[in-house]
Structures are given as C-alpha cells and as structure tokens.
C-alpha cells in the first residue's frame, strides 16, 4: 500500500498525516511545513532511529507508524517597508526600468517610420560610440552656423545619449531638423496632420546625412579595436559610414545581341542591397540573387541602337553591417499609391553571402571561414554547449570581424540578424512602422513609446503572407567568431 496513515510528533504537538510513498520526501516535508511552520531545510524527520534522507529507502515506514520531527520555526517574515508595485500597476517608465527595456520614442505625429529607423541603427555599437565623439564648434560666433545636416547629426548623437538614461523620450529636435532638411517628410494631408512616410526612404536619407557629415571625422584606427591601421587606410573608404555600412559590387555588362562587343567591368558602391520579389522567390537569398543577375536595355555603341545586356553583379567588398531592403512596394498609377506585396519571404537569423561574392573576395574570406568551421566542430564535441556561449553584446568589443587593411569590413561572409524594420498596412504612405531589435541574446519590439520583450520565434513570423507586421528592411551585423 503506497498511502499510509502516520502520526507525526513535533514537541508537544501531534498530527495525523497521510503519507504517499510514491512521492518524494520533499512533498512530505512540505506537508509538515504547512502544519507546523517549520521550513523543510530546518526539519529533521526520524522513525525508529532512522533519519529521512533523499529517498524513503533510508527509513522503513509502516501504516500507523509514529514519526518524530525536530526543528524550530524561523523568524516571522516582516512586511516590506515599502508597498510592492506590481507590473500591471506600473506606468511605461517604471516598467521599462524594472525590466531593463530599451528606451521608447514618442510618436510626434506619424513619426513611427523615423522612430523605427532610429531604433534599428542604434543597435550598431560602433555607430553609437563614434557619434558620441562627434563635436562641432557651434558656440564660437566666428564659426559659420551649423547646416541642417549637421543639426540632424548632433540631434541623433544627443538622442542616442539620452536614450541610455531614459525609459521613454521625445525625439523633438531630430524630428524638427529632419522636417526642415527634407520638406517631403513634412508633407501634410487635407486635415493638416503630417502624413505617414516611407521608412526605407528615411533610412536611406539618414545614412546619407551621416555619411556626408562624418566623412571629415575619420578615425585614425579601425572600427575593429584589435586592428590598428593608419589614417590613410581609413580614408580609403572616404567616410565612417562607408567603412561600416558601405559595400562594393563588381559589375559585368555583356551585350546579348553582339558577340563582337567587348564585355565591360565596373565597380558600384551601395549602402543597401535589394531583395526583389517574384513568383519564384520564397527566401531572402533567392531574392538577392535575382538582383545580381538581370537583363537591362541600353544603348549599344557597336550596334548604334538600344540592345539587351546581361548585367552580372558580384560582391567585391562586404560591409561590417549589411542592410537589406525587401522590395515590397510598387506604384499603382490608377490608384496613385505605392501598393504592397504581402508575399511570405523567409529570412535567416544567420546569413551567409559567400556565393554572392566575387572569386577574389571568396578567396579572401576562406581563412576566417575555416576558423568558424573549426570552432563549430569543437562546439559539437563539447557538452554542454550552453556553458561555452558568450553574450554578443559583451563579446563584440574584443572580437575582430574586419580585414586588417579594410577597417569596418566583414572578413567571413557570415552575418547575424540584429534589427528589423516592419510595416503593417497596404501602402508605404499609410499603416504603421515598428522596429524589432536584438540586444545580447534578447529581442525587443519597439513600437514607438511601447517597448516589449519578445521571443525569437516571433521574429521569424515577420516574413509576410498576411496583413500583420511584415519585414521591410533587415539589418545584419557581423557574426563573431566564438559567439553562438
């Protein structure tokens, strides 16, 4: 019989207790705690001289047996000096502080598109750190007043700094100088309310602003702190943003209608790759390949007329941070609106662009990729793997990811997703934009002033296929060797 009737004696007290031998002794001790107030760690339970340990085997108990318990109650817990505040009773600021959430940004009238861009770019620690060093001499009356683009840069610098200190903040100065500099983003509707704007256009313009302003503030050492380079090497990229976000394409043009016309090779720079969507494209990499191989029509000097050319592009320089735009909007003349393609396009947490690279770049990437393979093989042989993992945010400052002679580049072709800008709605000039960011191993949804922690599985649901939030711009950072 598994359930027994026993009598428990504790000092002068005696209790009739049901004892189930199929349950662990901890359960029985919990019953005694409920009866006597003696915590399990203070209890000493005995029967006929045998002491109860981790199993019932150490003590033979029969039905009707008398069990002796020794132990005293601890101090009675005192009520807290301050009344506890429950999560459901906290305001946004208290909640953000309690959960250590990233700072939220108030919507100042259809500014969700700009808020989402700011949240995504703020995930780049090198940009945040470098912006903090940007200085102007605006207090000197002999100096020409700051341009609007310099004001935007200063506003973003100050906003990043204030976001470290607050739970929610109003990006007043950034929005003000942004609309002054770009009147198209200050357009108002019939009701006098500032209209919604395309977030990817804002992303592109903001990167261009930073590129034009920060090019004079080139660092004398590489973005990767473990690699020391001189100022000449930095100036090769002609700017901080080009070092960190700028890539290059090796472009080949071949006329399909003239065998005698020589093939031409040129180099194109980019801050963003485009993923085109077609009926065949179901995955991000397939959409990128579609952009790398296309036919265009242009004037042929050999034929003296327009002809079809095959344009082939290969990545010849990988930026440390790769921005990918999923081309979801197209212009409908009849409705005069940028309509949205809702198709589901899967994107990976870990992106490998090796097959999109030129042969020369592939050869340069192989040594670092071999190091990744050795490390991954070691993780398979090592158990438990969890004990070896490092936090990305903690590990990044110490781990090189760039070529020694090309600061800010990617030396492996491996990337890790760190931010997503999504759109919900049917038109780029309507609906709602949200930023989704990774900090360490955790993901957060930054919906204007509301910031909430989310699971990584929720990120994978942003690939499209419905009217919910759909990935529009993806920001991939360098995958770091030794970090899972």
Catalytic annotation, residues: 112, 432
What SS3 state is found at 358?
coil
Q: Which of 280, 273, 362 is nearest to 326 (CA)?
A: 273
Q: How far apart are CA 120 and CA 128, in angstroms?
A: 11
Which residues neighbour 117 within 8 Å (Cβ) at sequence distance 6 or greater?
199, 202, 203, 206, 421, 435
**Tokens standing for 361?**
């770049």
Residue 242 φ then ψ, to 5°: -65, -35
What is the widest separation between alpha-carbon atoms in the chain?
A: 112
**Contact call for residues 125 and 321 (beta carbons, < 8 A):** no
Q: How far apart are CA 472 and CA 327, in angstroms?
A: 7
Size of the chain, expressed as the number of residues it contains: 484
Q: How far apart are CA 407 and CA 242, in angstroms?
A: 10
Residue 193 φ then ψ, to 5°: -90, 140
Cβ neighbours of 465 (radius 10 Å): 12
Helices (H), 382-429: 392-395
CA 452, 455, 461, 462 torsion-angle sign: positive
Which residues neighbour 7 within 8 Å (Cβ) at sequence distance 6 or greater?
14, 15, 16, 17, 64, 65, 66, 67
Q: How far apart are CA 249 and CA 431, in angstroms?
A: 34
CA dihedral 377→381→383→386, nearest 10 degrees, is 0
Q: How far apart are CA 319 and CA 246, in angstroms?
A: 5
What SS3 state is found at 305?
strand
Q: How far apart are CA 436 and CA 287, in angstroms?
A: 22
């Amino acid at each position: 019989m598994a359930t027994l009737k026993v009598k428990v004696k504790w000092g002068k007290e005696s209790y009739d207790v049901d004892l189930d031998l199929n349950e662990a002794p901890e359960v029985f001790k919990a019953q005694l705690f409920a009866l006597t107030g003696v915590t399990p760690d203070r209890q000493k339970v005995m029967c006929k001289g045998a002491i109860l340990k981790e199993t019932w085997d150490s003590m033979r108990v029969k039905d009707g047996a008398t069990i002796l318990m020794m132990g005293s109650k601890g101090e009675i817990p005192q009520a807290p000096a301050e009344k506890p505040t429950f999560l459901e009773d906290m305001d946004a600021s208290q909640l953000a502080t309690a959960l250590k959430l990233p700072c939220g940004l108030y919507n100042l009238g259809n500014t969700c598109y700009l808020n989402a861009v700011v949240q995504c770019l703020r995930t780049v620690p090198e940009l945040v750190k470098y912006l903090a060093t940007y200085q102007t001499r605006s207090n000197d009356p002999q100096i020409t007043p700051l341009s609007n683009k310099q004001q935007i840069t200063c506003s973003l610098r100050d906003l990043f700094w204030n976001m470290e200190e607050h739970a929610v903040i109003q990006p007043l100065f950034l929005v003000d100088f942004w609309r002054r500099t770009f009147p198209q983003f200050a357009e108002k509707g019939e009701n006098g309310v500032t209209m919604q704007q395309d977030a990817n256009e804002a992303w592109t313009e903001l990167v261009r602003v930073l590129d034009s302003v920060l090019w004079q503030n080139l660092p004398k050492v590489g973005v990767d702190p473990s690699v020391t380079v001189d100022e000449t090497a930095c100036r090769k990229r002609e700017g901080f943003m080009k070092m960190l976000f700028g890539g290059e394409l090796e472009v080949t043009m071949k006329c399909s209608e003239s065998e005698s016309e020589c093939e031409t090779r040129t180099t194109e720079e980019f801050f963003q790759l485009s993923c085109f969507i077609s009926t065949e494209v179901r995955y991000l990499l397939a959409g990128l390949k579609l952009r790398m191989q296309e036919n265009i029509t242009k004037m042929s000097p050999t034929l003296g007329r327009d002809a079809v050319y095959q344009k082939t592009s290969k990545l010849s320089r990988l930026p440390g941070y790769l921005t990918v735009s999923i081309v979801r909007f197209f212009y409908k003349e009849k409705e005069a609106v940028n309509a949205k393609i809702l198709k589901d396009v899967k994107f990976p947490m870990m992106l490998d662009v090796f097959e999109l690279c030129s042969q020369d770049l592939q050869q340069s990437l192989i040594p670092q990729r071999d190091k990744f393979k050795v490390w991954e093989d070691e993780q398979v042989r090592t158990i438990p793997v969890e004990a070896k993992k490092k936090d990305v945010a903690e590990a990044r400052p110490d781990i090189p990811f760039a070529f020694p002679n090309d600061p800010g580049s990617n030396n492996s072709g491996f990337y890790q997703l760190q931010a997503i800008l999504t759109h919900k709605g049917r038109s780029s000039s309507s609906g709602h934009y949200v930023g989704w960011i990774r900090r360490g191993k955790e993901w957060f949804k930054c919906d204007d002033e509301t910031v909430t922690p989310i699971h990584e599985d929720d990120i994978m649901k942003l690939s499209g296929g419905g009217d919910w939030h759909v990935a529009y711009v993806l920001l991939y950072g360098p995958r770091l060797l030794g970090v899972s």
